[in-house]
Amino acid sequence: MSVDLKRGETLPIHINMTFPSLPCDVASVDAMDLSGKHEVDLDTNIWKLRLNSHGHIIGTEYLSDLVEKQHTTRNHDDKEHHDGSAKKPHKFSFDKDTENMINKVKKALENGEGCRVYGVLDVQRVAGNFHISVHALNIYVAQMIFGGAAHVNVSHIIHDLSFGPKYPGLHNPLDDIDRILHDTSGTFKYFIKIVPTEYRYISKEVLPTNQFSVSEYFSPMNESDRTWPAVYFVYDLSPITVTIKEERRSFLHFITRLSAVLGGTFALTEDGFGSGMLDRWMDRLIKALTTPSARCARR
């Protein structure tokens, strides 16, 4: 082990998740760190696959373009809301594109559409969080679609979540887990402790990566809650780097094991009285085979 001296590097986050009850048109990925940086439209490769009610792929969409479109809609809607608040504080109207999007998402919910989100996020190497939710939507749009936060279902399956390339023997604790909600909603939070790791091959090649431990918490949603359901991954980095080395066993180790095998064989063939277990078995076998021949000779 040694102190982690990495500075100015980014942290790669590989995600591959399925949301069986959340359409791709409303799912978004946000990230925030302790420096106060909050990003929605991340400059990374994140893709979404539309899924039907049976989990089969029916379409694809690039997330960055979607989030940008949603932000444009949200800013436009907010402007309308603020401009008309003095005259009509209780009324809110949407443009044609927004109304089409609302109808499209409602239809997707009726058909049981889901979404698979996968790709890589490159974030600053400081403590922070990323989450998948409907937060990119204007609150009025979200209200029109779901009828309230309690009706947003963020059930999910984590196929893969890692913070760097995998090395032999690595098992990430969140791979292949599922959290499915029935007749309820809420927010999931995964608290992750990332441990910087160096894997050294026999060839002297070094693979810098990360392993992690995790604990989780679920907060059920109430009708009075003002927050919207989401799946949070809150991460922090350990200041210590762990080094794992591949080693080839020496010739001396081979001689030691060979001596142990030979010693065990000797113990089976010789005991304190000069007659070992193997000798006794052989003697009994020979007697059993030769006794019938002697009887036949007498006759």
Q: Is the domain of 23 the same as that of 112? A: yes
* % of the chain surpassing 90 pLDDT: 34
Instruction: Name the nearest CA neighbour of 27 among 136, 140, 186.
Output: 136
Q: Is the domain of 261 the same as that of 231? A: no
Which comes out higher in pLDDT, residue 138 or 292? Answer: 138
252/249 Cα distance (integer angstroms): 8
- The predicted-structure confidence for 155-165, as pLDDT tens digits, reads as follows 999 999 999 99
Give yes or no for residue 295 having a pLDDT over 70. Answer: no
Q: What is the mean pLDDT of residues 241-270?
A: 75
Instruction: Name the nearest CA neighbour of 49 among 72, 27, 71, 73.
Output: 27
Classify the C-alpha dihedral 27-98-56-45 as positive or negative.
negative
Q: Is the domain of 229 the same as that of 259? A: no
Q: Poorest-confidence range of 29-38, 79-88, 168-177, 257-266?
A: 79-88
Q: What is the mean pLDDT of residues 175-200?
A: 93
**251 CB-near residues (< 8 Å, 6+ apart):** none
Give yes or no for residue 75 having a pLDDT over 70. Answer: no
Give residue 187's pLDDT.
94
Would you say how long the chain is, in residues? 299
Q: What is the mean pLDDT of residues 232-254?
A: 85
Judged by DSSP in three states, 12 sits in strand
Give yes or no for residue 62 having a pLDDT over 70. Answer: no
Give residue 156's pLDDT.
96
Give yes or no for residue 294 having a pLDDT over 90. Answer: no
**174 alpha-carbon distance from chain centroid:** 4
Instruction: Name the nearest CA neighbour of 125 among 2, 1, 241, 15.
Output: 241
Give residue 289's pLDDT.
79
Exposure of 182 in the CB half-sphere (CA atoms within 13 A)? 1
Q: What is the mean pLDDT of residues 215-232?
A: 88
Strands 186-200 and 206-220: antiparallel
Give yes or no for residue 56 having a pLDDT over 60. Answer: yes
Q: Is the domain of 256 the same as that of 236? A: no
Domain that holds residue 195: 2-245
**10 alpha-carbon distance from chain centroid:** 19
C-beta of residue 200 within 8 angstroms of C-beta of residue 244: yes
Q: What is the mean pLDDT of residues 29-50?
A: 80
Q: Is the domain of 273 the same as that of 217? A: no
The total of structural domains in the chain comes to 2
Q: Is the domain of 271 the same as that of 191? A: no
Q: Is the domain of 197 the same as that of 260? A: no
Residue 209 φ then ψ, to 5°: -155, -165
Q: Is the domain of 185 the same as that of 285? A: no
- Of 204, 221, 245, the one marking the end of a domain is 245
Q: Is the domain of 121 the same as that of 261? A: no
DSSP 151: G
- The predicted-structure confidence for 127-155, as pLDDT tens digits, reads as follows 999 999 988 888 888 888 888 888 899 99
Give yes or no for residue 224 having a pLDDT over 60. Answer: yes
Alpha carbon dihedral 120, 121, 122, 124, in 10-degree steps, equals -150
Q: Is the domain of 275 the same as that of 195? A: no
Q: Is the domain of 231 the same as that of 266? A: no
Give residue 42's pLDDT.
59
- Of 218, 245, 272, the one marking the end of a domain is 245
Q: What is the mean pLDDT of the chain?
A: 80
Q: Is the domain of 177 the same as that of 257? A: no
Strands (E), 176-296: 177-179, 186-200, 206-220, 230-237, 240-245
Q: What is the mean pLDDT of residues 101-118?
A: 91
